Amino acid sequence: MPPVHPVVVQRLLALNATFYQAHARSFAMTRRRPQPGVEAVLQSIDRSASLLDIGCGHGVVALQLALQGHLGGYIGIDASPDLLELARQAVRQPGFAFASADLAQPGWSDGLTPAVSVIFAFAVLHHLPGEALRQRVVSDLAQLLDTVGKVEVSVWNFLELERLRRRVIPWDRLGLADSDVDAGDCLLDWRQGGRGLRYVHHFTPAELAALAGSAGLATLAQRYSDGENGRLGLYQTWSWPG
């Protein structure tokens, strides 16, 4: 299957940017605490580890870490100014910082300190359209990672639930065809505090592990968690092999 055309990639990125601009507060209201799978990861983190949280949103992870007394430093980045403002209001603890960065733009990681102990990529990679873009972002993460560090990843396993499958909208709503996007690409509607549309990619476990491999990272662990069936989130832990 040919790669997604750059024009389509930009349309899908713009769609999600518009969504998070219009629905930042209603989105935040539906996610007031970390998912169980995320909480399990946070409980395992060394308090002295340096942390980078990409797609940090409104600061749910940062707040939980602050409450746990994390001491190693934390940087959260996101492309949504409204979500970042909510994060800054929620977490005002020394050692915690938030910055604006768009993962889809080359050079997004410029200025970030390398040799990070742990990188969080919770519920963010599935919003990046096109395999080439996802591979570039994961390669950027690998360059920031310490030689003994790890990347904690989660993606939305939304096709696991019938009620979420019913929210998938045909691509012709945007004037696109199935052939214009990748297998696993979906358009989902939003019904909280107004209607909206989001682009989401559904990963298979093998596909997610292959994405890590494209940057030279190995998949150390995999598990499912979250939701009423305990399988709404697919989690993997990546690190350097050896």
Dist. CA 66–CA 226, nearest whole Å: 22
Q: Tens digit of pLDDT for each residue in 174-184?
A: 999 999 999 99
Q: How much is the pLDDT for 19?
A: 84
Dist. CA 135–CA 213, nearest whole Å: 9
Q: How much is the pLDDT for 154?
A: 97
Mean pLDDT computed over every residue of the chain: 92
Statement: residue 28 has pLDDT above 60:
no
**203 belongs to a structural domain:** yes
Q: How much is the pLDDT for 220?
A: 97
CATH code of the domain containing 53? 3.40.50.150
Dist. CA 22–CA 171, nearest whole Å: 21
* DSSP output for 88-134: HHH---TTEEEEE--TTSTTTTTT--S-EEEEEEET-GGGS-SHHHH
**223 belongs to a structural domain:** yes
Buried b (16+ CB within 10 A) or exposed e, 22-44: bbbeebbeeeeebbebbeebbee
Nearest to 126, CA basis, from 54, 219, 193, 196: 54
Q: Which residue is associated with the tokens 């310490």? A: 146
pLDDT confidence of 27, banded at 50, 70, 90?
Answer: low
Give the domain extent around 178: 6-239
Q: Tens digit of pLDDT for each residue in 45-54?
A: 999 999 999 9
Statement: residue 31 has pLDDT above 70:
no
The partner residues of 151 in beta bridges, in order of sequence, read 119, 238
pLDDT confidence of 196, banded at 50, 70, 90?
Answer: confident
**102 belongs to a structural domain:** yes
**60 belongs to a structural domain:** yes
Interval 82-91 mean pLDDT: 90
Single pTM value for the model: 0.93
* DSSP output for 161-195: SHHHHTTEEPGGGGT--GGGS-TTEEEEEE-SSS-
Whether the Cβ atoms of residue 145 and residue 119 lie closer than 8 Å to each other: yes
Statement: residue 1 has pLDDT above 90:
no
Cβ neighbourhood burial of 213 (10 Å; 0-12, 13-18, 19+): middle
Question: In this structure, is the dihedral angle defined by the CA atoms of residues 4, 162, 22 and 108, taken in order, positive or negative?
Answer: negative
Count Cα neighbours of 124 within 13 Å in the Cβ-side half-sphere.
25
Helix (H, G, I), strand (E, B) or coil at 71: coil
Number of domains in the chain: 1
Lowest-pLDDT range of 39-53, 111-125, 183-197, 204-218: 183-197
**1 belongs to a structural domain:** no
